[in-house]
Structure 1
Amino acid sequence: MSRTAIIGILAVLLVIVCAFLPWSVVDVEGRHLVFTGVNGTGSNYGEPGRLCIILSVLAIGIFLVKNKWVSRVNLFIVGFLLAWTFRNMLLYSRCEMGDCPQSQPGLYLSFAGALVAFACVLFTRSPKSSK
């Protein structure tokens, strides 16, 4: 297994762990609400961390396979994971109706992990086809 694949797997594991860490904290009407990727109770955010976990598990499986077309599929999956974590970062850190959340490190670590995983997919050497 190549070094970039190992780093990519570790980065994707970071995205999975960050789905359970706090992403933002809001104090609204005397209530202290803490939102994670899998717990959006009290908001309309939903649970976007579940999709992060599903895409990350798929990416780990594909990082372990050495095939040219499978690595191209991994480019799509990790690219979508990167776009999804960026969307989550924008969603969880925006102000609504004068209430601004306090962004937590888990939100930014999730995006950083997806960015590193995407870079690892781009720099992984594809196997040579024998003709």
Structure 2
Amino acid sequence: MSKNYLIGIGAAVIIIISAFLPWLTVESKHLVFTGVHTVGSSFGEPGKLNIMLSVIAIVFFALRKMWAQRINIFITAFLIAWTLRNFILFARCEMGECPHKEIGLYLSLFGALVAFFAVVTGKNKPSNA
């Protein structure tokens, strides 16, 4: 297995871990939001999709087929788009109050970018299957 694929698997694991870390703190209401725990807001639970896409990406990183690599490009690109959406949604100011962005939000974005570049720069010898 190539180093790029191991880096991609590590980045996907970081995304899974970051879904459980704090993403946002609203100090006026004493609320801390994670990717899977957003009680008290209308954010939904966007970390669940991050986890699902990361698990799928890990499976395709482990497969050494050309078709898996091509599908993984789409999966990780969608993961970047979803993570950017989460970053914009969580980081915005509303009604004059700007929340404090936490480490989980940044780790999620960083992991998605690293996973995508691991797929794009990965060299997989083409096999016919």
**Alignment TM class, shorter chain as reference:** over 0.9
1:26 aligned residue: 26
Q: CA RMSD in A?
A: 1.0
For residue 129 of structure 1, report the CA deviation from its aligned partner. 4.3
For residue 120 of structure 1, report the CA deviation from its aligned partner. 0.2
1:80 aligned residue: 78
Structure 2 residue identity aligned to 1:109: L
1:102 aligned residue: 100
For residue 97 of structure 1, report the CA deviation from its aligned partner. 1.0
TM-score normalized by the length of structure 1: 0.94
1:36 aligned residue: 34
Structure 2: runs of 5 or more not aligned: none
Query: Among residues 34, 50, 53, which one is paired with 1:52 in the alignment?
Result: 50
Structure 1: runs of 5 or more not aligned: none
2:11 aligned residue: 11
Q: List per-residue Cα deviations over 1:65-110 (Å, max 9, x = no partner).
A: 0111111000000110111111111111100111210000110111
Query: What CA distance in whole angstroms lies between the structure 1 residues aligned with 2:47 and 2:127?
Result: 37
Structure 1 residue identity aligned to 2:27: D
Runs (4+) of structure 1 exceeding 3 A deviation are none
Query: What CA distance in whole angstroms lies between the structure 1 residues aligned with 2:60 and 2:68?
Result: 7
The number of equivalent residue pairs is 128
Equivalent runs, 1:61-76 vs 2, <5 Å: 61-76=59-74
TM-score normalized by the length of structure 2: 0.95
Structure 1 residue identity aligned to 2:68: V
What percentage of residue pairs aligned between the two structures are identical? 52
